[in-house]
Structure 1
Amino acid sequence: LANPSLPDDILKEAVPGNIRKAEHFLAVLKRLVRFLDGRLETENVENEMPVSFVASIHSQAGIDQRMLRFCYDRLHSLLLTLEITDTDEFMHIQTICDFATLIGTYSRGFSIIIEPYDDRMPEVRDPVIQLSCHDASLAIQPVFDRFQTVVITSGTLSPIDLYPRLLNFNPVISRSFTMSLTRDCICPMVLTRGSDQLPVSTKFDMRSDPGVVRNYGRLLLEMASSVPDGIVCFFVSYSYMDGIVNSWNEMGILQVISLTSTLF
C-alpha cells in the first residue's frame, strides 16, 4: 500500500527507452537530485502545483513527464536485477523516485510545498520539500483496488453521506447508529493553573514554556498514579508531542509514569 497508486494504462506501458539502460537512468536521477537541491535554495515558503513543477524539471534538467512517471518502476526493476535484498540503504533514493512518479502521474490533487525553515527552530536553516495530497480518494484508491470488501467505521463520520463523495466510492451498505452509554465515561475538566499555581496553556506562545511542560507532566503523573487502566494523552500537534515528550524524558517524568501505569 505504500507504493504510488498508478492507473492500469500506465502500468501496462513500456518503460521509456531513454531510461531503459541503468547508466542512463542513474544519470537522470543525478540531474533530478541536482534540480531538487537547487530548489531548496530559497528563503521563502513556496507552493507549486505538479504541472508547473514538472515543467520546471523539464526545462532545467531535461527530464520529461513520462520519464518521471516511470522512476519508481525503473528503480524497482534495477534493484531486482542487482539482487539487492537490503533496500534500507536505498530508502532516500526510493523516496525521490516515489516523489517523481507521483508528480509525473497526477496533474491535480497534489501540491509541492518547499519550506526553508522548521517552525520549531526558525533560526536554523532546514529546507524540506513536501508533496501534499489534497484528494483523499487518491490515497484510499489502493485499498479499494486490493480488497473486495472494505469496512469504514468511526464515531466521527458525520454527515455520513459526505464521505463517499470525498473518497469517490459507492457504498453498498451505509448505516448510522446512535451511541448509548450505560455510565458517564467522559468527565471534561478545564485546567488553567498547575500545582505550583503557574498558568498552563497550549497556546503557541506558551506551549514551550518549561513551567507549562513541567506542570502538564506532573498532571499526567498524578493521573497515572490514580487511574487503574491505561491513559490516552492527546497533543495539539505531532511536533508539539515530540518536543514535550523529549522534555518529559529529560525531566525523568516518563520513567516514573512507566513504573506507575501504562501510557498509550
Structure 2
Amino acid sequence: ERLQREYQNLVNGLVDQGLLEASANEAGFASNVLNPDVINEAVPGNIRRAEHFISFMKKIVEHLKTRLLTVAGPRGGVISETPLAFLHRMITTTSLEAKPLKFAYSRLSSLLRTLQVPNLDDYNALTDVADFASLVATYSEGLPKFAIIMEPNGSSIPGASDPVIQLACLDASLAIAPLFKRFGSVIITSGTLSPIDLYPKLLQFEPRVSESFNMSTFRPCIRPLVITRGSDQLPVSTKFDDRGDMGVVRNYGSMLVEL
C-alpha cells in the first residue's frame, strides 16, 4: 500500500507541475508519456514503480560484479576509464538507459523512506552503488570531471584479493560546492595555499576577503636536516599515506632521541 501511494505521489507531482499529461479517469498512469524536455526534473517512468527499480538496481550490481571479476582475473590489471566510456560499456552490457541512471540515488532514497526502513546503515553498500551510478551518468558529458579506476587488489593486507572500483573526483570545485551552498560563510586557511589567487579559480568561487601573512620567527631557527632513511635503512616520509606506518613512526622517534 505504501509503495502504491509513493508511485501515485510521484505521478501526481508530475501532473501538478505540468510535466505529465493527466488522464481523464486517472487510471492510466502507465500509459502517460513524459515530456522529453523535463527528463532531468522528473523521475523516469521505467523506475517509478518499486519492482521495476529493484530490477534496475540488480542489473547495475551484477554489471559491477562482472567488472570486478574481470579486473581481478588473469588478464586483469589496473584500468582507468572516463565516465563516458564506463557508462557506454554499462549500457551496452545491461541494456539500461542513461537517463534513469541519473536518478538511481534519489529514487533509492525515496524507496527507503517509503518503506520506513529502521536501520539505513544496512543499505549503505546499495546506497553507494546508486550514488556511483548517478554521478557517472550525470557527469559523463563534456570534459571529464571524474575518473573510474579499477584495481585488482585494493587491500592493504599482503596476499589478500580485494578488487575495487573507485570514483576519483578530478574537479575540486564539485567537492567543495556543497559547503558553499550549506553555509553562509566559509573560511579556508592553510600554510601551503600558494599562490593564494589560484585557489578561487580552481574552486570556482569569489572570495570576499583574501589575506596572506608573512611567516616570522622570534628565535634562531634550527638548522634543517633532510633524512630519507632510518637507521634500519627503511624509507621515511612525511606523506599523509605513510604517517600511520609504524616503521616510519619508529624511525622518526629514534632520530629525535639520537639527536
Structure 2 length-normalised TM:
0.70
RMSD between superposed Cα atoms in Å: 2.9
Partners of 1:189 and 1:15 lie apart in 2 by 60
Q: Does 1:109 align with 2:145?
A: yes
Give the match for residue 233 of structure 2.
199
Shift of 1:241: 4.8
The alignment partner of 2:51 has SS state of helix
CA contact 1:235–1:241 (8 Å) conserved in 2: yes
State the shift of 1:153 in Å.
1.4
Partner residue, 2:99:
66
Partner of residue 167, structure 1? 203
Partner in structure 1 of residue 43 of structure 2 = 15
AA matched with 2:177: Q
The equivalent residue for 2:52 is: 24
Q: For residues 164 and 59 of structure 1, what CA distance do their matches in structure 2 show?
A: 40
Query: Any conservation in 1 of the 2:87–2:137 contact (CA below 8 Å)?
Result: yes
Asked if the contact 2:39–2:99 (Cα under 8 Å) also holds between the matched residues in 1, the reply is no
For residues 73-98 of structure 1, the C-alpha deviation after alignment (integer angstroms, 9 at most, x for no partner) is 00110111011131111110011011
Corresponding residue SS for 1:126:
coil
Pairing partner for 1:86 from 116, 119, 141: 119
User: Deviation of residue 243 (structure 1)?
Assistant: 5.3
Structure 1 equivalent of residue 29 of structure 2: none
Which deviations, in whole Å up to 9, do the C-alpha atoms of 1:78-131 show, x marking residues without a partner?
A: 111011131111110011011011111112200101101247457443210000
Does structure 1 residue 182 correspond to structure 2 residue 184?
A: no
2: CA distance, partners of 1:235 / 1:74: 43
Q: Which runs of 4+ in 1 moved over 6 A?
A: 9-12
State the Cα deviation string for residues 164-200 of structure 1 (Å, max 9, x = none): 1110111122111112233357664445776xx5334
> What one-letter code is carried by the residue in structure 2 that aligns with 1:125?
S
Identity of aligned residues (%): 45
Unaligned runs of 5+ in 1: 1-8, 203-233, 258-264
Change (3 A) 1:112 1:200: closer
Tell me the amino acid that sits aligned with residue 167 of structure 1.
L
Using the TM superposition, give the Cα deviation of residue 138 of structure 1 relative to its aligned residue in structure 2, in angstroms. Answer: 0.7
TM-score, normalized by length of structure 1? 0.69
Q: Which runs of 5+ in 2 are unaligned?
A: 1-36, 254-259
Give the Å deviation of 1:51: 0.8
